[in-house]
Chain A
Amino acid sequence: MLSVFRQVMLYLAVLCCAVNAHAAADSMKPDTELHALAQQLIDAGFREKKALTEALVEINDPKTLEFSQVMVNGDLYYRKDDRVVVIKGEDKITSFFNGEVIEIASSRDIKKISVNNSLRTILRSGIARLQIFSPVASVRKQAAVNLLKSADDIDSVTLSRAMAEEKNSEVKDILSLVQGIKSLESGDSATRLAGIDALAGSLYPDVRGALANFVRAAESDGRASEVKAATDALEKIEDLLRVNAVIENLYFGLALGAVLLLAAIGLAITFGVMGVINMAHGEMIMLGAYTTYVVQQLMPDHIGLSLAVAIPAAFLVSGLVGVAIERGVIRHLYGRPLETLLATFGISLVLQQAVRSIFSPLNREVATPDWMAGTFMINPALELTYNRLYIIIFSLVVLALLALVLKRTLFGLQMRAVTMNRPMASSMGIRTGWVDALTFGLGSGIAGIAGVALSQLTNVGPNMGQAYIIDSFMVVVFGGVGNLWGTLVGAMSLGVVNKLLEPWAGAVVAKILVLVFIILFIQKRPRGLFALKGRAADMG
């Protein structure tokens, strides 16, 4: 009985396979070289794939370019049951060779034709060779830059043709660098020297790499004149790089300073102006960051806009929590700094645990909008990252707005009046209690805004506030308590000093040196860089 059953099953299975194979043969008969190769790719291990990919980029087929691009992006899949090669797009799956949209029941029905780093390198080089004749100048430029990495792969006839046809001077310059790198391999000494000449002064890392390799090769062959020419060319590049490195370091310093500034501005109000030692300041930053996370969860399709929404939202959330803390706890403790310190420290622990309970102890993922990614290229060796650039600008804008509020608005006037002379302000009809609450709320709200910015740079987790509390106090005390200008100068100078020390001292020692420097500085000038003078000084 069992064996009969098994036979029937076997028969059915065979039948089923035959039908399948038949269907597959119909739709998937490889009619082109590319198609045949694609079928081979499905079964190949990474070692076979490497040879196949090398062959692939040489195939003269109008679809080779698209195939390589889809493959390098990791969007090339195949359907398991009939081996149709498909492109997995954002919302639909299309057959690569006939463009049909394919419906699949489960994501397990298709399997990725995987690529690794060495395949990607081959593919990118192949794509670059195909795109060097693209009608779009920016595509040609990218292709030319990629060719710098793989100058050996392009034959000199094609390269000369590309150079002859090239109208865009920028692309042409890069192509001549490609040619320069190629001629370093030439058998003729004069050509090699001309190549070195063409490369001198270029800041592309690949050019520097090619020259360095050339020097090593020439040294071992004893070609002294070429070694000298190439070393000189390298020297010229190094000089330029040194200038760039200084500018880059300053930029890094300013970027770090901007982070310190953002973290400290809020504290400059709560601690600097009001004199409250607010240990929960870091948690206000954390609340701002979590607000960003929540906003992004609410509008998952508009990540680009989410930050613009998150800024006012974070200001409100942290600001309201700040007002609540002031009304609930701190107002009972004015004039008792030690108790304030302990109470706010307690609040910081409560807030951390609250966030841990609500959002879990794991870090939350805050997405970075596309417009914040990437770099602003000044030259090939000096690229400024957009996210840091925006944060520098943002921190300055926040500071300027705050200064405006303090100096030019009625609230700012009342705030200054209350902190300078409370009884007098009170007898002039100012509700000092509410001014205190709003001032604390303002400081906390700004910390919340800082949290939005920091969520783009670092981890958003329950402990993130603790990482910034020390830095914030450091900046405010160093800059001079009660002085916004001092906070700005303090933050920027600490950032720059830290980054100038880092390359030769390392990250750990640089940070220690900065702390030692501040200790010594405070010994000399206990009131910080910009001490308030006169009667106001006694209020801080």
Chain B
Amino acid sequence: MKKTDLNALGKVTKFIGMTALAAGVSLAHAADDTIKVGVLHSLSGTMAISETTLKDTVLMMVEEQNKKGGLLGKKLEAVVVDPASNWPLFAEKTRELLEKEDVDVIFGCWTSVSRKSVLPVVEELNGLLFYPVQYEGEESSYNVFYTGAAPNQQAIPAVDYLINDLGVERFVLAGTDYVYPRTTNKILESYLKSKGVDAKDIMINYTPFGHSDWQTIVSDVKKFGSAGKKTAVVSTINGDANVPFYKELANQGVKSEDIPVVAFSVGEEELSGFDTAPLVGHLAAWNYFQSAESDQNEEFIEQWHKYIGSEKRVTNDPMEATYIGFNMWAKAVEKAGSEEVDKVRTAMYGIEVPNLTGGTAVMNVNHHLSKPVLIGEIQEDGQFEIVWATDEEVPGDAWTDYLPESKNLISDWTAPVNCGNYNTVTKSCGGAVATGE
């Protein structure tokens, strides 16, 4: 149409007009015809090891979506920032994404402390954050969707497996000294006591980030484990401290048959750093393993290998959570017919997308997912053999039922409750209320 108009004009005017029009069109295109996706993962510093993979996952999903023609007829444009494993910088970068870049959604964060730092900013500016990592719960923000596991989707089922299937009666709760392990262990301790486990049969141990001398702790675990009751270690040890920990376990001859270690922060990516032959049989609990058999998973792995250019790269649980989160958001945008935060949020509730383990993930009104829980045993090739799985998807519980301070709290972001921490006994909202609408 433009072309016919222009044909009527003289040669010179045509040239000038074309240039001007082209410039105008492309400007308008940038403003209206793209949906901006913010990526907030550390690309440098201590967390870069884990978070870089998730940045690549989001970019891959964006590319894939654009190949399918984008969303609502608009192209997706990823805006990548680097918060550099620096917690206050996470807040600054979020502000930059929301105010300067004006992104429509953010995929990001790994550690709980980074999420806590981002929280006030997304709430103030009414942003939308998808958080893809398993975490300690006790939170539900109007502006955050939690696609990783809550404690009842990882820690509690894992302990149930230890008690029911392995007959474990004595527990070592070992963790890195920060908020996620401390809260998780508090929940587990209270849960174990409710299951009739004696306080004498629970040993709790914390170590600093990057701890490398595990001699004493492993030796203590061995002693703790020789009291006649089947003993297991529940590990919330985070980051690369796991490597010397597992090496010491192997060196001191702690076998998985005698004292199994079940880990909540060790996945395929973490195991790709070392020889797993001495660790065969130790466990991990996740909502996804690369070894899961399903068509979606095969497709996803193939897509990932192609995107990253290496057959050796593994997939892991936070990647699946990113995959689910992205697909849900895309579906919600289409359902809402708009990328506006408030409309997308309303469209999110009850939305269903296939997960990678062959089932369906559902977004609940408390901003948490329903997911299956899997327990895997480490194999010699660094993969996990799935030895146990829940029969159906477990809905994520934002507020655990096993701590006295949160057992009466629920989160429901739909009318009439519309509250992130609603007390079902006093029938009152503890403060986190919707402000956007």
Task: For chain A, residues 214 to 256, give those with C-beta under 8 angstroms from any C-beta of chain B.
Answer: 216, 241, 245, 248-249, 252, 255-256
Query: Would you call B411 an interface residue if the criterion is a C-beta within 8 Å of the partner chain's C-beta atoms?
Result: no
Question: Nearest Cβ distance between residue B390 and chain A, in whole angstroms?
Answer: 15
Q: Would you give the 0/1 interface string for A446-460, flagging 1 where the beta carbon is closer than 8 Å to chain B? A: 000000000001110
Residues of chain B at interface, number, CB under 8 A: 53
- Closest Cβ of chain A to B436, distance in Å, is 38
Interface members, chain B 194-209 (any A CB < 8 Å) = 205-208
Give the shortest distance, in Å, between B292 (CB) and chain A (any CB): 14
Report whether A363 and B216 are in contact in the complex, using a CB–CB cutoff of 8 Å: no
| Bound: A237/B10 CA distance, A | 105
| B240 in contact with A373 (CB, 8 Å) | no
Residues of A close to B210: CB separation below 8 A: 467
State whether A206 touches B226 (Cβ < 8 A). Answer: yes
Query: Is the pair A467, B273 in contact by a Cβ cutoff of 8 Å?
Result: no
Bits for B214-243, please: 1 = Cβ < 8 Å to A, else 0.
011101101101111100000000001001
A 112-125 binary contact with B (CB < 8 Å = 1; else 0): 00101110110010
Does A485 sit within 8 A of B, measured CB to CB?
A: no
Chain A residues positioned under 8 Å from B244 (CB to CB): 457-459
Contact assessment for B226 and A205 in the assembled complex, using a CB-CB cutoff below 8 Å: yes
Task: Name the interface residues of A252-271: CB closer than 8 Å to any CB of B.
Answer: 252, 255-256, 259
CA distance A117 to B211 in the complex (A): 28
Q: Which residues of chain B are near A117, meaning CB under 8 Å?
A: 166, 256-257, 260, 281, 377
Known: A117-B257, A249-B216, A385-B252. A208 touches B227 (CB 8 A): yes
A211 B258 Cβ-Cβ under 8 A: no
Output the residue of B166, B253, B257, B280 with the most chain A CB within 10 A.
Answer: B257
Q: Which of B208, B215, B227, B240 contacts A209 (CB 8 A)?
A: B227
| A114 to B229 Cα, complex, angstroms | 27
Instruction: Report whether B166 and A209 are in contact in the complex, using a CB–CB cutoff of 8 Å.
Output: no
B48 interfacial contact with A, CB 8 Å? yes
CB of B175 to closest CB in A, whole Å? 11
B387 within 8 A of A: yes
* Chain A residues with a Cβ closer than 8 Å to the other chain, count: 55
Most chain A CB neighbours (cut-off 10 Å) among B251, B274, B377, B379: B251
Residues of B contacting A375 in the complex (Cβ-Cβ under 8 angstroms): 251-253
B240 — nearest CB in chain A belongs to which residue? Answer: A459
**Interface residue B247 (Cβ < 8 Å from any Cβ of A):** yes
Q: Which of A209, A249, A385, A507 contacts B228 (CB 8 A)?
A: A209
Whether B212 is near chain A, meaning CB under 8 Å from some CB there, is yes
In the complex, B380 has a CB within 8 A of chain A? yes
The answer to whether A508 and B251 have CB atoms under 8 Å apart is no
> Is there an interface contact between A507 and B280, defined as CB atoms closer than 8 Å?
no
A46 contacts chain B at the CB level, 8 A cutoff:
yes
User: Contact: B281 with A361, CB < 8 Å?
Assistant: no
Residue B320 interfacial (CB < 8 Å):
no
Chain A proximity of B375: nearest CB distance (Å): 10
B294 within 8 A of A: no
Contact A368 B247 (CB under 8 A): yes
User: Given A208-B226, A216-B228, A506-B205, A499–B216 Cβ distance below 8 Å?
Assistant: yes
Q: Which residues of B contact A387 (CB under 8 A)?
A: 251
Q: With A and B bound together, what is the CA distance between A245 and B377 in angstroms?
A: 32
- Given known contacts A74-B380, A117-B281, A361-B48, A507 and B207 CB-to-CB distance under 8 angstroms: yes
- Residues from chain B with a CB closer than 8 A to the CB of A120 are 256-257, 281
Check if B385 sits within 8 Å of A365, measured CB to CB. Answer: no
Q: How many angstroms between the C-alpha atoms of A120 and B283 in the bound complex?
A: 14
Report A491-518 residues with CB < 8 Å from chain B CB: 499, 502-503, 506-508, 511
**A74-B379, A361-B48, A507-B208 as given contacts; A205 in contact with B225, CB under 8 Å:** yes
Asked if B79 lies at the interface with its beta carbon under 8 angstroms from chain A, I say no
Q: Which of A212, A368, A506 contacts B206 (CB 8 A)?
A: A506
With A120-B257, A363-B273, A467-B210: A374-B228 Cβ-Cβ less than 8 Å: no
**Contact residues in B for A361 (Cβ distance below 8 Å):** 44, 48-49, 52
User: Separation in Å of the B302 CB from the closest CB of chain A?
Assistant: 14
A362 touches B273 (CB 8 A): yes
Residues of chain A within 8 A (CB-CB) of B377 are 116-117
User: With an 8 A cutoff between CB atoms, is B392 at the interface?
Assistant: no
Q: Contacts A506-B206, A507-B207 known; A388 to B49 CB distance under 8 Å?
A: no
B257 touches A374 (CB 8 A): no
> How far apart sit A71 and B278, CA to CA, in the bound complex (Å)?
16
Q: Are B165 and A503 in contact (CB under 8 A)?
A: no
**A117 → B minimal CB distance (Å):** 5
- Check A320 for interface membership: any CB of B closer than 8 A: no
Contact of B243 among A216, A383, A459 (CB under 8 A): A459
Given A118-B165, A459-B212, A503-B220, 16 other A-B contacts at CB below 8 A?
A117-B256, A205-B223, A205-B226, A361-B48, A361-B49, A361-B52, A367-B275, A368-B247, A373-B250, A375-B252, A383-B252, A383-B253, A385-B252, A387-B251, A459-B243, A459-B273
The list of the 5 closest CB pairs from A to B, nearest first, reads A205-B226, A212-B228, A209-B228, A213-B228, A458-B212
5 intermolecular pairs with C-beta atoms under 8 Å apart: A208-B226, A252-B215, A361-B48, A363-B273, A457-B244
